[in-house]
Structure 1
Amino acid sequence: MDGDHRRRPERCPGGGLDAVTPAHGAGVMATGVLSVGLSSAGAGRLSAALLVVAVGWWLVLAVVFAARLVRRPERWSSEAESPPALTAVAATAVLGTRFALLGRYPVAWALLALAAVAWLGLLPVVLVRRGRRDAVPGSAFLVTVATEALAVPGGVLAAALRVEWPLVPSGCLLLLGLVLYALVLTRFDFGQLRDGAGDQWIFCGAVAISALAAARLDAAVRRVSGPGRPGTAVTVLDEAALALLLVSFACCLAALCCEVRWPRPRYDVRRWSTVFPLGMTASAALATGQTSGLRWAASAGRALVWVALAAWVVVAVGALRRSGRKAVTQ
């Protein structure tokens, strides 16, 4: 998070698998959350196709970074200290959420446990090693994204299985994520909205995933407590989900206006971090609309999920073209 982070390109040392960096994990995040959103919007086949892509991508990254830990531990340690390393947590948790929605509960629990272990190992390192920087880029908001990503499958599993025990830790993660967001926001370099290569959008995605976590916990509390016992928790979560969703819409609109004012059409791997907030905001709107009965939120979510899919296709084409050019020159 050095002071020249605005225009510095993402470094991809070497070629082939050696060029893979933790920033590529945002692609799994974006693909996974699009699968969740499309499922909620009723596009089951597209959702399933993207889930297959996300799982395959996740497996490739897992193998690459496991091999790097063995063969190049110095580079692995350096990358583990950077905020993009937390995409591993968020991507794994997002896949856990999708499998939970499919009713594949053992797989969902396993992915949630794996994400929690990675979160416990990576978050303190990122906070300590990078906590002394003055101005931070959008990727710094991944501390919130990774934290809230653990709360979402906790809420989904609690609602599906009608068990109460995941609600307390998931609620604590929701609150912790919001605290971390506030801390990062005070040091965020807003110049990134003008100069960022794509990861500036994570400041939108961090709010959106907080809204999704609140909506999923809201639904879980309603299901566990029963229709006759709404309670204060439901009211608080309901209002929090709506408020966070509205803030997420406002953040996305601000980021989009900056993209129009200062166009940056060239592909960068950090553009996957632009797709992720769009898909996450769509999923949050769909979940909030379903839980709270707000038709406008559900309608907005259904519309936005197709916008997010279009953005995914554009970035995917850019990634393939970049890979093709590299293959020709090597």
Structure 2
Amino acid sequence: MRDSTTRELRSTVTHVVRQLPPGAFAFTMATGIVSTAFGMIGWTALSIALLVIAIGGGVALVVAQAWRLVAYPRNVAADARNPAVAFGFLTVVAAINVVGVRLYSAQVPTATIVLAIISVPLWVLLVYGIPATLMLRRHETPAITSADGSWFLWVVATQSLATAAAIIASGNGSEALAAISVALWGIGVMLYLMLATLVTLKLLSAVNNPRTISPSYWIYTGATAITVLAGSRILVLPITLPIVHVTTTVVAGLTFVLWAFGLWWIPLLLIFGVWRHARGRTPLRYESGLWSIVFPLGMFSVASMHFGRAEHLSIVTGIGEIGAIVASLVWLATFAAMVVAVPRGLRLVRAQQAASR
């Protein structure tokens, strides 16, 4: 009996690993940024608890993704060629740096530095490899027909590295690292402008339905928010650094514009959600994409508080503080829904396995 249970458990875990979505690290991103938001509003105990959950979840996902890469390379390769999910792989870069930034301490910056260094080769591989694969692959339909909010993870991953670089530079005063952070921030801004045009045109030109209007479109706001966070971190770098001296005005102006644009998107994204679940009659239940809603809300809150404090904009700071509470409630609801969904998901997996025998 015990051997049978062990085999069934191993088979279930194997199935879950094989089907693991590329964007699975969105859970770590969302949990890590809400932990940061809690820390900024003084909820230390809850902040630490979420940080532990984020790290634990991140470690488990690293093991699962490494297992999948070794055991099921064809599945991974198929995902990398699929424009609807390929950019999800960039969640690993963003998750590493979201946790790294949360762990930053001016006295002991080692964890942030180590995690940023680990993310660099992954960023280089994915930020060039995924677009190149999609552009040069053999296909019957253009990749742009599958463009959705997940494509903004290209921006999110880049700006997560820009944020980490700026934070590390603020501690050691490195001119080179400060220049790298501003360069990455600028690349992220240009990528956002390009992708916002492409994805919005696709939304306006395609026939949309509840399946295509997914929670991933919230990354519209998540991408602007993390760009604002990176910009606010650059703005507090020492003005004596040459790159800061020549770019402060540009960074401050564009950061505010992107903050306002990210805020503008939120009501429209809520309309998308209402249409999807009410008129489109899509059941409101757990799906992994819901973490793509939690992360933008948490990131927008953290970015607003950082930018508001850096530029002495009390209204921006206040919006961020309110947003932190909203993000925490959405995180709690999503986490609870995930826990409730686990038994149902396991039953579905077992049913699929039984049908395939």
What is the aligned counterpart of 1:295 among 292, 310, 314? 314
Matches within 5 A, 1:173-252: 173-188=184-199, 189-190=202-203, 195-222=212-239, 225=241, 231-252=245-266
1:103–1:253 distance in 2 versus 1, CA, 3 Å: farther
Of stretches 240-249 and 270-279 in structure 1, the one that deviates more from structure 2 is: 240-249
- Give the root-mean-square deviation of aligned CA atoms: 2.4
- Please identify the structure whose Cα radius of gyration is greater: 2
Deviation of 1:212 (Å): 0.8
Q: Which amino acid aligns with 1:37?
A: A
- Which amino acid in 2 is paired with 1:159? S
- In 1, are the aligned partners of 2:17 and 2:67 still within 8 Å (CA)? no
Q: CA deviation at 1:14?
A: 7.0
Q: How does 1:1-330 map to 2 (within 5 A)?
A: 15-81=15-81, 82-101=86-105, 103-131=107-135, 132-135=142-145, 136-188=147-199, 189-190=202-203, 195-222=212-239, 225=241, 231-263=245-277, 264=282, 265-328=284-347, 330=350
Q: Is the 8 A contact 2:306 2:317 kept in 1?
A: yes
CA contact (8 A) 1:35 1:46 kept: yes
In structure 2, do the counterparts of structure 1 residues 193 and 43 end up closer, same or farther at CA, with 3 Å as the change threshold? Answer: farther
Return the letter of the residue paired with 2:331.
Answer: W
For structure 2, the 5+ residue unaligned runs are 1-11, 136-141, 351-357
Number of residue pairs the alignment of both structures matches: 316
Bigger relative contact order, structure 1 or 2, given CA contacts below 8 A and separation 6+? 1
Q: Secondary structure at the match of 2:293?
A: helix
Runs of 5+ consecutive residues of structure 1 not aligned to the other structure? 1-11
Could you say what secondary structure the match of 1:220 adopts?
Answer: coil
Letter in 2 for 1:204: T
CA distance in 2 between partners of 1:130 and 1:102 (Å): 41
State the alpha-carbon separation in 2 of the partners of residues 102 and 19 from structure 1.
40
Q: After the TM superposition, which of the residue ranges 17-26 and 183-192 deviates more from structure 2?
A: 183-192
Q: How much has 1:232 moved relative to structure 2?
A: 4.4
TM-score, normalised to structure 1's length?
0.88
Identity between Structure 1 and Structure 2 (%): 27
Whether the 8 Å CA contact 1:13–1:19 is kept in 2: the answer is: no
Do the aligned partners of 1:202 and 1:277 also contact (CA within 8 Å) in 2? yes
Local SS of the residue matching 1:262: helix
Pair 103,95 (structure 1): closer, same or farther in 2 beyond 3 Å: farther
With over 3 angstroms needed to count, the CA separation of the structure-2 counterparts of 1:225 and 1:181, relative to structure 1, is closer
**TM-score, normalisation: structure 2:** 0.82
Residue 193 and residue 215 in structure 1: after superposition, are their counterparts in 2 closer, same or farther (change >3 A)? farther
Shift in alpha-carbon separation, 1:102–1:69, aligned structure 2, 3 A? farther
Moved over 4 A (4+): 191-195
> Is contact 1:90-1:146 (8 Å) kept?
yes
Q: Distance in 2 between matches of 1:30 and 1:48?
A: 14
C-alpha distance in structure 2 between counterparts of 1:14 and 1:256, whole Å: 36
